[in-house]
Structure 1
């Protein structure tokens, strides 16, 4: 889903531009953190002149797009899953390969199918029909709005360090605060705000500086204890948990921080030289993976996993407090607050733009394509925030936390990722001639990227667990009604193919079973 995508542009734009900016936005926030901040994902500095980015600026821009709020919670989230240090490093190895395959998939698709300007929706629709394409767009939208919910919990959890009234970020005070913030952002966007460059600049600094300070301080002030790290390699927070289960418990965390990775390729058109795009994408990916690994590994050298698991989010603040004292925690919490305030603005844009563009392309109902006098997609803004508000209220009556919502957000974006990777893999076998002259490398290599991208997406779906799969099926089911209504409005046929009918049956059966499991108490949220 992690982005975790870029919220640089608030006004509605062409499908391709919006998809790009939306993806970027979600990346940086990502828990992905959309582009400026995953998921995750706030995309600062994306508004560059076309063709004006050299390889260095391409690399730094992509890094900014990907890194978001998720990096601040990595240490605690991984430990809370009950994994040992060895399992955590194994999960990073698997995700490193898997995400690289997805990155190269999106990069290659942007080169061999430049006419598909609807991004993730277009890939799924072209490859497997408009119903699966619709579900890809639906999953992308729901993933984006769930990012806002998870960010609100993390934001007010960080604010609780300064104002204890916010508790863990999910109490009544936090929900009221989050509600005021998201509706204020709706007001801003509805007024036709077109540039958030200043906000993005602040966000970029606020999220990057604390991370590098933490890394540098732990290394150069010799706060890393090799003995603690070696003990963590073999001892997890939950002794006795099978190694494979330890790895799978960490997988959704590793994809969350990369949610929005597809948005990085969206800036390819801004490169001075097209050949630099592939290089920049890989270099940026390696840099981001290195940052995540450093935060993860260094944290395991400061505190035992059992203690890391007990830290309140943002866990990196707790790590810094142990390493250097209170100033470290203050620095990290301030960075998280500033970063997420901007990220939530970015996701307000993304989660309203994506359904608006889908409606413009005839995928969602016509009402979603309506704009106000300022050109803002007012219907999707209001509907999206009503849904977000419902999730915020639901937080009060459950044990759901930041981790729960980002896992669900990352899970919802897996179908779009899976269908994109599957479409790409299909192209490498059915239309290998497309690659000649458009992209370098052997067709065999691109087939490997496509196949591994599909396998990785399936593995992540399995790793999301019974609760994740249960809720995902319930969230996809309402989309069927939206799809049918949209088709009827346009006088078009729907569910024409056997595949479409099978997919509908699978979704409805899965939703019915999931509802039964929830009602009977066999699955607890």
Structure 2
């Protein structure tokens, strides 16, 4: 990274960042996570809702990348421009924490996968699993310190490698497709049938769909490295469509080869368990190996994105200036160190969790919702402003306005679907995390909050206190 030219990323590299960010632990856990919540009918409805909603959000990112090229830090920059410094901070902090939780879930699932062969790893949160994961965290830390170009090259190679087992899984299940089994799961009845109504079933899958789509904005976060601004939007849409196809097939095809009730109790990663049930130990090993490659690639991509978000926020004074400092390789070393340290601490905390992977999945999704909501909201403001100023074809601007409005409604629905438990858990992180914002404001000699921001901060503190009381009393179980 000796020069700015060397840091520029091509369209394939940006698309690889999107696909690499989204295709991680989530896709390998989909069969069981969906089967526990719903059958084929609910899954189809859920993916229609999630696909349309996330496509709208992807289109918002695409439109903003094209119409607001000066905002080159994606999620954080859009929230700050649209709603002020504190909103920008909440977006940056929430997105960063979502990335950290996602990375923790990766280590848990890797060790859970190996736990099928090495009992000491258990479900991924034993003392042995945590110790091995800790070594991995710091080895990847050293890779990241070598720079964006070397890391994104590795990510591009790994992205290609990890998609192959998923495609093979899909191909095998298509060959073994049984219409009678799919029909039985579609109209499931009797003792094994789910008791919840269809709406409740679909609602129960929403945080799962958010988890597997987190990363859709990967190209936007790295937009300052793009060779051409148009590549950012193209990479976002291309990556989204490709990954959506994989997600839908991985979710629905297991219903055509095994009973839903059997899939619902499988060990994670359930993709490996499904193929193991069909092909024996070879299936488990094959998918397990693909999962490990997939997760390591996603971990690298997300660690880079997390550091980039902290760096971008610090450059504008929303985070303490220490995170904007770069070494001779132009790397935000303090941001990389903090990201690795936080991931390490939460990996240790999984030792006391009843279901570490599910907890990290839900926390990742919950922390990502506020940033997505703010981006969609800014999409509305930006389109309306352009319409009023005549800054472009009116028909296209009105289309962007309605797409952004739909994306905003979708994120509001996701907040409702996620439930109050995880909103309060999010507040438990946002409230103390705001100390970083306070420090940044004091560094610049500015007043900390506006009147509206004070209200938001007080709401976050109240939510944090409620979550703390719930954890202490046992009302909230992790």
Give me the TM-score of the superposition, normalised by structure 1: 0.83
> Per the alignment, in what secondary structure is the counterpart of residue 239 of structure 1?
coil
Match of 1:413, SS?
helix
Structure 2 residue 436 is the aligned partner of structure 1 residue 478:
no
Q: Is the 8 A contact 1:12 1:376 kept in 2?
A: no
**Aligned mates of 1:384, 1:270 — CA distance in 2:** 24
Aligned to 1:524: 477
1:405 alignment partner in structure 2: 360
Distance in 2, matches of 1:127 and 1:188, equals 35
Partner of 1:488: 442
Change (3 A) 1:459 1:12: farther
Correspondences of 1:74-93 after superposition (within 5 Å): 74-80=30-36, 82-93=37-48
Helix, strand or coil for the counterpart of 1:153? helix
CA contact (8 A) 1:218 1:323 kept: no
Deviations for 1:205-240, whole angstroms, at most 9, x for unmatched residues? 3311101111111213xx122222122223396621
Cα offset, 1:389, TM superposition:
2.1
| Counterpart secondary structure, 2:213 | coil
Partner-residue secondary structure (3-state), 2:205: helix
**Alignment pair present for 1:257 and 2:212:** yes
On the 8 A contact 1:190/1:372 being kept in 2, the answer is: no
Equivalent of 2:288, from 327, 333, 353? Answer: 333
Question: What is the deviation of 1:176?
Answer: 0.7
Inter-partner Cα distance in structure 1 for 2:324 and 2:397: 40
**Correspondence list, 1:292-307, <5 A:** 292-307=247-262
Q: Which residue of 219, 226, 229 maps to 2:179? A: 226
1:183–1:385 Cα contact (<8 Å) kept: yes
The yes-or-no answer on 1:134 pairing with 2:89 is yes
**Matches of 1:341 and 1:489, distance apart in 2:** 37
2:249 is paired with a residue of what secondary structure?
Answer: helix
Which moves more between the two structures, 421-430 or 108-117? 421-430
Whole-angstrom CA distance in 1 between matches of 2:303 and 2:286 = 26
Which residue of structure 2 lines up, in the alignment, with residue 447 of structure 1? 401
| Contact preservation (8 Å) 1:149, 1:392 | yes
1:366-425 Cα offsets, whole Å, 9 max, x none, are 222334455443323333233222211211112132121022112101111100100111
Equivalent residues of 2:80, 2:86 under 8 A apart: yes
1:12 and 1:377 in contact (8 A); partners too: no
CA contact under 8 A between 2:165 and 2:290: conserved in structure 1? Answer: yes
* CA deviation after TM superposition for structure 1 residue 159, in Å: 2.1
Question: Which residues of 2 match residues 194-273 of structure 1 at below 5 A?
Answer: 194-196=149-151, 199-220=154-175, 223-235=176-188, 239-265=194-220
Residue 519 and residue 122 in structure 1: after superposition, are their counterparts in 2 closer, same or farther (change >3 A)? Answer: same
Q: Distance in 2 between matches of 1:192 and 1:64?
A: 17
- 3-state SS of 2:97 partner: helix
Equivalent residue number for residue 468 of structure 1: 422
Instruction: Indicate the residue corresponding to 2:454 in structure 1.
Output: 501
Q: CA deviation at 1:104?
A: 0.5
Q: 1:424 aligns with which of 365, 371, 379?
A: 379
Pair 1:277–1:399, CA change in 2 (3 A): closer
Q: How many residues align?
A: 474
Is the partner of 1:261 in helix, strand or coil? coil
Alignment RMSD (CA, Å): 2.9
Whole-angstrom CA distance in 2 between matches of 1:243 and 1:12: 56
| Distance across 1 between alignment mates of 2:324 and 2:152 | 26
Offset of residue 74 of structure 1? 0.9
CA 1:417–1:389 in structure 2 vs 1: closer, same or farther (change >3 Å)?
A: same
Correspondence for 1:70? 26
Whether contact under 8 Å (1:112, 1:434) holds in the other structure is: no
Shift of 1:266: 6.3
Gaps of 5+ in 1: 1-10, 19-45
TM-score, normalised to structure 2, is 0.90
